[in-house]
Structure 1
Amino acid sequence: MPPSGRRRHRDRDQERNRSSSNNDPQSAPVDPSFDPSELFTLLENTCEACAKIPTPTEGELHTLRPTEIARLRDLLTQTWEAVRSYLSARPSAQRSAAVSHQNESLLTPLHMACKLVDPPADVIQLLIDANPDTLSWQDTNGWLPLHHACYNGASCRVLQILVNGYERGKETQDKRKRTPLHFAFFPRDLPNVGEKRSEGEGNGEGEDGAGNSMPEVVRLLSDSGAAELHDEGGMLPIHYASAYGTTREVLQVLLENYPESLTKKENKGRNPLHLAMVNAHRKYSPTVVEFLLEQAASDIINVYDDDNHLPIHLLAMLSKFPPEKVKERKNAADCLKLYLDFKPQASADFLTAVQTLPEWLRDIAVISDHIQNILNHKIVMRFPTMILILDFFFLIFCIVLFEITTGDTIDYLFTEGTDYNQPPASSAKIALTLVCGAYFLLREVVQIISLVALGNFSAWVWDMGNWLDVSVILLVFFFGSIMLTGEPLISDEAFRSGVAITKGILWMSVISFLKSTQVEFSVFVSGVIYVVQRLSAFLLALGVILLMFAQMFYIVYAETPVCQCGEDHPDASPFPHCSFLDSLLKVYTMLMGEIGNEMRYSTSHVAQFLYVAFAFLVVILLSNVLIAIVTDSYGVIKNERAAMVFWSNRLDFVAEMDAILNITKRLGGGKKGGVPGAPTRVLEGQNGDQFGYDEEEKGYSNRRFRAGWKSIMNLFDPNLYDSYDVNPSSFEFWCYFLVRFAAVVFVIPIWLIIGLCTAGWLWPPQVREYLFQQKRAAISRADMAEQVTTQINELKEEIQSLRMEIQSEMKSDRKEFALVKAEVEAVQAEVIADLLQVKEFMIHLLEMSKDHLGAR
């Protein structure tokens, strides 16, 4: 502090001393040498010393070493004893002057005491008794002592004393309009360093890390309207509680004091659920999310903030936790499960948000009942069904046309005597092939535009299926253009190789399509991919072994008569190891089981040994290892990952369809009805599930198709004759028979063919549901076993952590015991030394008294 500042504070303190002496005639005048800042300096130095000791962060109390806790405890104990001694040894005037001292930040000793960890209630009471007015004094930030006490987790008894002394403090707002109730929810994980006090005087066991009973604290601070006061950001205390996490009991207290707070928004348009999902990684966030949704799910779960974000958007943006953050990931996953359990609306924004979730959260989302119900419902709507069927039609049509046109083109371009001035014979077929390519190009362009409009273009970039589609489009247009022009722009070999690769990619697209529409096929394809990934080390080792044997066989037979004989007689069968590439090809075929004539190695004992070694090591041993790896890996993917992969692919497709419908609706000016299938409001499903409402479900034709198909299927009800008294001899029986015959031979086939020709648009809803709805993923025994194993491992980790904490505490206790023992021994030694001195002194006195008596 500058000298001028010290003079101002000293003059102000002296003036307060004089006024205190005048107001208290029984008190002695203040000693001019008395320094009123001594008490403040004592507390300030303690605060500075505590600040130098590392303090734990939320959930990391174990990072504070026992020695640091002991040091902090000793420092605070000495400070509180010094404060008690200081106040008890001073007259009232000096006590008042001391507690009234303020530094340049307008902090008093009461402010400083409330800034320390777990201040004793008796010390706070002594400071207040010395000058009760300090309870209402605010520092430069507008903080009362009550603000500091709430921020630093003071005990409920201390808070009660501060409130009793200044009731209006509960509603006092600082410069940022925050009340003490706002500060009560700041995260803290404070060590137990306070003095040992009797029951009722301490903090009591609670949630906030300092031992506070949070429900009591919140009830104390919110009973006079503080729960309805917001800060400068528009945040109520319940917003703070939701963001930082707390218990159900605390939230219930806030709700009782301000029931409307659950739906209130802060200045960014975020309600308490938004803030809880932003902080989903915190310990109590799942508890907060569950409470909020139980109380007002319909009012808060589908609400957008000012940035047009749903609560799940915020979870997706702020849940980028690495695998080592196990607790944070578990908390975020629990919040997501609770959110989905309350069935948010299936809007395009919601599906986009699910797409943008990190992979580990997206896997959890896609196997939830709500998401699978949504995807099953949306996939069988007319527009998505039409796109699926058109994709398949054009893909197969493109493959067939490409096969025909490439064969004709090879005959046209690479046959001697071809007249290149004449157009290719299959120009119309080539043009149709290019039309197929144009369809796929249009699909990709519309998809990109839709995702850009939703702000989720990254989903297109990271989807490998889209790059496969792009490859198909580029290759079809490239080779289609060559075939259409009829000029050999590239070499014969390059054309053949490129066309072969294109056909392979086209068939890979068929596999990708089937993987996205049938869960069983997804299991197979995912299993193959997973197995290949697991075989990387095996394939590397196998490649090294094949190269080794190929090289050894080649060296054994290089420039031998066996190879030279083949050169002299071109018609003779060449020996398979006369060149390195031939040798490598031969050992590979031997691996596949094509051993051939083993007598070919009879001319060389080394070759015979290599043959036997190869047969044992590669054909017998490695083949069985390969079978074991494949079996184990396929079982893993079948039980764990297949459903996640399938439903993730279906989510991408459905989200893409919703995005296209949204764009089409915007381009249509938002007219009522829009594109058939576009979601406009919420519809309750058969099981109470909420889905995006679509116009086709209320359309007359769709209801008629559903009812008509149901009537046809009722004709084949096995209990039909039980309902009506008919038999083969009755006229009604033959009427039913003729109607059934007509339905099977004419009505059903014609209806299905017409629906197929219209890409599923005229199919009854039941047919679309039969083809494209998939069973929801069920938990298999393997999954249950893995969950049990995971829980057991988590318990083991918790037990190990608890054991380490106990060992650390025992070690700390042993050190403290050793210190206490050493102190006791030191005191004992001092006492013995003092007793010896007393003994010597007494002996000396006795001798002196004897001498004195003898002299008399």
Structure 2
Amino acid sequence: MSFHHSHHSHRHRHHHDDNDQYEDPTGVEVDGLVGDGPYEMEMLGDFGRLEQQQQYTREQPQQEDSSFIMDDILLLNHFCANAFPPRDDSEEAQIAADRSWEPVHHWILNHDANEFRAAAEQRDDAGKTALHFACQFNPPKEIIDIFLSAAADIVQWPDSFGWLPIHYACAYGAATDVIQSLADAFPESKTTVDRKGRTPLHFALGTSNYNSTDVLVLLSSTGAASYPDDNGMLPLHYACAYGASEEALYVLTDAYSDAITTPDRRGRTPLHFALSNAGRKASPAAVRLLLSLNEDQVNSMNGGPLPLRVLSEHAATLKEDEEQRESVENCLKYLLAAKPDPTADFFTALQSLPSFLQERAVVMRVVQELLNEKIAQRFPTAILLLDFYMQMLVVVFYSLAVEQSINRRFGGAADTSSDTAYCIVLYAGATYFFMREIIQVFSLISLKALHIWVYEPGNWLNVMYIIYMYVITGFMTTGKGNDDYFRIGAAAAFAFIWVKFLAYLRNILIDFAVFSGGVFHVMRRLMAFLICLMIILIAFSRMFFTLFVASADCKTNPPPTAEQLDLELIEESLDIKVWCTGWDSFLRVYTMLLGEVDEDDFGGNTFAIMLFVIFMLLVVILLANVLIAIVADSYKVIQDQRAAIVFWTNRLQYIAQMDAIANGPWKSRLRTCMGMSAIDRTHNVKVTFGKDLWRRFMELFEYEVDEGVFSFEFLCSIILRICALIFIPFWIIGGAVVAGWLWPPQIRQKLFTQAVSKHSSESDKEEQLRKTQIQRLQVEIDDLREELMQELAMDRTQMVQMKSAVAERKLEIQNEMKHIKRIVTMLFEQQGSS
């Protein structure tokens, strides 16, 4: 007895120690959800701890020693605690689990009702009875029925943490009929909460392998679906976190529809929990259901996180698992189909998606329409035009400034006034790009998305461009620095200028986006080829060098004298050999690869000529054709399969930058300083300046006059068209001068928008068909519900009538029995008198 009692005391003292962070069988860590992310819920509760403790109990030898003898009344607890559920779905596991309950059956058969009741009412230090233990291990229904018939009160007894037996049964996935029996024996248990505010419904949904809709209907029938725990989490939060089935979610949303938009203590709705586990197979159905019931939750609500950002954080943790990626992509499709508001936070979240998910997003029609809508707004258009103007100014004035600076350094020119004017323009251009990057960085910091700027290679190109322009312009202004090094640096600056200009063009024209994407894709594909080519070139160069080094030809060429400085004299007096040094050999082999060959280079060496023939066959003919095949194939992949992805990804990066700048902290502070109200960032105000006027101008050229050419109406139309032809060019040019700010929306759309996908994918068509079928099914369910309600009302009426008829019939039978009794009594009396 002493061993058993102390053993359970040890088992549960740690289990319910209030000083420790509480963990329970549902796997939910109440004081902060465990896992890598703030939404991830793992099965780290008491399951593992109880398994170890139960294994420890089973391994204790049942010795004959009197020191280990246990009180008979405590054996029931011991046997229930040592039973176990099936390990898997196999028949052998079920047989083994059934045998684990044989000691319990045997003990019950050998004790009367009073002894059983006394044993069932025994508690350990944690307040657990044998029924609590039994409910942990998927017990047979007959065992539970015996407990409920012989000791019915214990079903109402909570342990020291407020858990009833039904809490344990739900947490460990007991059979439906077992939970039904426990609920019928104590109906109030369905809404009984433990010390953390959780009902049995929370526990049932806190296990990823338990989705019995019958149990959920039973537990939620008395309003348990509306009970939040201490974290503010409803059962629907648990269901979405653990990947409950779509049918289970329907039960919970029907029982308490407000749960869809109810946030927990941290502002997280059930949608957030579904997206934080988007890799699960059931998550897409959950996301689709939640958004179909309320599309508004696709945006940030009540200060909570943006759902798309939650999906992005989860997707970044996925491994190379096709099934998980497919589930995440489906969740993304349902999110974007709900048409979220095109806020700065939305675009930065879209940009922070992993590459495989971002490529899927940018080809969706809804995203492309949003990007086109954004690029045609005033601010992104103005920045595009200002970038173009500054790029052109830098290109033109840098070329002029470099030429003047080199003439001054090497030609002795003294006039520096033009240099200074050119450099002022260059400083202005570099400062413009510098301020743009600074504003973008601070804007992303305010949106908590600085990592997007850090991981974007184009931003680092901009930083290098700005620094280089400041440095090289400073050397041109001051005239300092080594002249030769300045010439080299000035030449290298042209590479930065034109690469940046190409990066600009890829944001507005799909052909340039495909080209730049193709270049990088080809370079990645050519990495192995280039390494092999370099090895072959080095090998041949060393072979040629070995054949000619220290030969007579390499020793007969003295260095030129001062009198032979003229190039023609050098060429005549000096027979240049190309194999005498390692570097010269490598350069010569490289030029041979490009087709430059001179037979005199081999000096009649037979082996060198053989090497040359092999080199031409292996490198020039074979590898050159392999190179052409790789480049053509790689570029075709970009052009045919990834053209839209490359362009719309570039467009997304630009729009995310512009939206971050447009909604950055500088704008709010400026409006505050000017005494203006803050801007509502959740809704974008569409500017329609000049839209109607431009439309009317265009209608002038579409309008056909029915009257003759000499009619007054025709004359007026001609005059109006001439006025329009005069005014429109001035309008376009004037708008271009102010960076498109005065253009009507039609011009910006014409210049910068790109055609979107017009054909729906097969999955989209199937989804639309599914929605139609669901709507029809809902109508049929409503009709069926009405019919059932009417039939139930009629049945209740008939039952009342039947009860009345049975009562009347019972009264008649009683009267008849009394009459028969009197007759029989009279017969006995007459027989006795005779």
**TM score, norm. by length of structure 1:** 0.75
Partner residue of 1:391 out of 369, 387, 390: 387
1:602 to partner: Cα distance: 6.6
Q: Does 1:502 align with 2:497?
A: no
1:227 to partner: Cα distance: 1.4
1:344 to partner: Cα distance: 1.0
Q: Secondary structure at the match of 1:694?
A: coil
Aligned to 1:233: 231
Partner residue of 1:709 out of 694, 704, 726: 694
- For 1:94 and 1:375, the matched residues in 2 are separated by 77
- For 1:243 and 1:728, the matched residues in 2 are separated by 75
1:264 to partner: Cα distance: 1.6
Report % sequence identity: 36
Partner residue of 2:263 out of 262, 265, 273: 265
Q: Any residues of structure 2 matched to 1:316-335 within 5 Å, and which?
A: 316-335=312-331
| Residues 4, 70 of structure 2: 8 Å contact kept | no
- For 2:154 and 2:436, the matched residues in 1 are separated by 72
Aligned to 1:129: 149
What CA deviation, in whole Å up to 9, does each residue of 1:242-288 have, x standing for no partner? 22222222222222222222222221122221222222222311111
Greater mean alpha carbon deviation, residues 395-404 or residues 358-367: 358-367
Instruction: Give the letter aligned to residue 290 of structure 1.
Output: R
Aligned to 1:775: 755
| Residues 202, 238 of structure 2: 8 Å contact kept | yes
**Cα 1:588/1:726, change in 2 over 3 Å:** farther
Partner residue of 1:110 out of 107, 131, 148: 131
Partner residue of 2:298 out of 297, 301, 309: 301
1:481 to partner: Cα distance: 1.3
Q: Does 1:537 align with 2:528?
A: yes
What CA deviation, in whole Å up to 9, does each residue of 1:762-793 have, x standing for no partner? 2221111111111225789xx999xxxxxxxx
1:34 to partner: Cα distance: 6.5
| Residues 8, 124 of structure 2: 8 Å contact kept | no
Q: Any residues of structure 2 matched to 1:477-488 within 5 Å, and which?
A: 477-485=470-478, 487=479
Q: Any residues of structure 2 matched to 1:647-666 within 5 Å, and which?
A: 647-662=648-663, 663-666=665-668
1:729 to partner: Cα distance: 7.1
**5+ residue gaps, structure 2:** 10-68, 561-568, 764-834
1:339 to partner: Cα distance: 0.8
Partner residue of 2:576 out of 560, 571, 574: 574
| Residues 510, 643 of structure 2: 8 Å contact kept | yes
Q: Does 1:161 align with 2:190?
A: no
1:127 to partner: Cα distance: 2.1
Aligned to 2:430: 437
- For 2:230 and 2:2, the matched residues in 1 are separated by 33
Instruction: Give the letter aligned to residue 652 of structure 2.
Output: L
1:710 to partner: Cα distance: 2.3
**Cα 1:377/1:8, change in 2 over 3 Å:** closer
**Cα 1:499/1:336, change in 2 over 3 Å:** same
Partner residue of 2:115 out of 94, 100, 109: 94
| Residues 439, 661 of structure 2: 8 Å contact kept | yes
**Cα 1:651/1:339, change in 2 over 3 Å:** same
Q: Secondary structure at the match of 1:549?
A: helix
1:434 to partner: Cα distance: 0.9
- For 1:41 and 1:601, the matched residues in 2 are separated by 96
| Residues 246, 287 of structure 1: 8 Å contact kept | no
Q: Secondary structure at the match of 1:657?
A: helix
Instruction: Give the letter aligned to residue 106 of structure 2.
Output: S
Aligned to 1:36: 73
**Cα 1:283/1:638, change in 2 over 3 Å:** same
1:671 to partner: Cα distance: 9.8
Aligned to 1:668: 670
**5+ residue gaps, structure 1:** 10-31, 56-63, 190-207, 683-691, 786-856
Instruction: Give the letter aligned to residue 553 of structure 1.
Output: F
What CA deviation, in whole Å up to 9, does each residue of 1:14-38 have, x standing for no partner? xxxxxxxxxxxxxxxxxx9972111
Aligned to 1:694: 685
**Cα 1:582/1:778, change in 2 over 3 Å:** farther
- For 2:370 and 2:675, the matched residues in 1 are separated by 21
- For 1:559 and 1:777, the matched residues in 2 are separated by 68
| Residues 156, 189 of structure 2: 8 Å contact kept | yes
- For 2:669 and 2:435, the matched residues in 1 are separated by 17
- For 1:275 and 1:655, the matched residues in 2 are separated by 26
Q: Does 1:287 align with 2:268?
A: no
| Residues 376, 774 of structure 1: 8 Å contact kept | yes
Aligned to 2:221: 223
| Residues 312, 349 of structure 2: 8 Å contact kept | yes
- For 1:8 and 1:275, the matched residues in 2 are separated by 36
Aligned to 2:743: 763
- For 1:362 and 1:81, the matched residues in 2 are separated by 58
- For 2:372 and 2:692, the matched residues in 1 are separated by 20
Aligned to 1:551: 542
**Cα 1:469/1:128, change in 2 over 3 Å:** same
- For 2:662 and 2:634, the matched residues in 1 are separated by 40
Q: Does 1:353 align with 2:338?
A: no
1:365 to partner: Cα distance: 2.4
| Residues 304, 311 of structure 1: 8 Å contact kept | no
| Residues 114, 149 of structure 1: 8 Å contact kept | yes
Q: Does 1:180 align with 2:200?
A: yes
Instruction: Give the letter aligned to residue 127 of structure 1.
Output: F
Q: Does 1:612 align with 2:632?
A: no
Q: Does 1:725 align with 2:710?
A: no
| Residues 406, 499 of structure 1: 8 Å contact kept | yes
**Cα 1:571/1:301, change in 2 over 3 Å:** closer
- For 1:637 and 1:545, the matched residues in 2 are separated by 29
Q: Does 1:411 align with 2:407?
A: yes
**TM score, norm. by length of structure 2:** 0.77
| Residues 420, 477 of structure 2: 8 Å contact kept | yes
| Residues 679, 695 of structure 1: 8 Å contact kept | no
1:608 to partner: Cα distance: 1.8
Partner residue of 2:338 out of 330, 334, 342: 342
| Residues 171, 226 of structure 1: 8 Å contact kept | yes
Q: Secondary structure at the match of 2:570?
A: coil
Aligned to 2:139: 119
Partner residue of 2:727 out of 735, 743, 747: 747
| Residues 83, 101 of structure 2: 8 Å contact kept | no
- For 2:712 and 2:625, the matched residues in 1 are separated by 68
| Residues 208, 242 of structure 2: 8 Å contact kept | no
1:726 to partner: Cα distance: 5.4
Count, aligned residues: 692
Aligned to 1:427: 420
1:469 to partner: Cα distance: 1.0
Q: Secondary structure at the match of 1:106?
A: coil
Q: Secondary structure at the match of 1:516?
A: coil
Partner residue of 2:159 out of 110, 134, 139: 139
**Cα 1:71/1:671, change in 2 over 3 Å:** farther
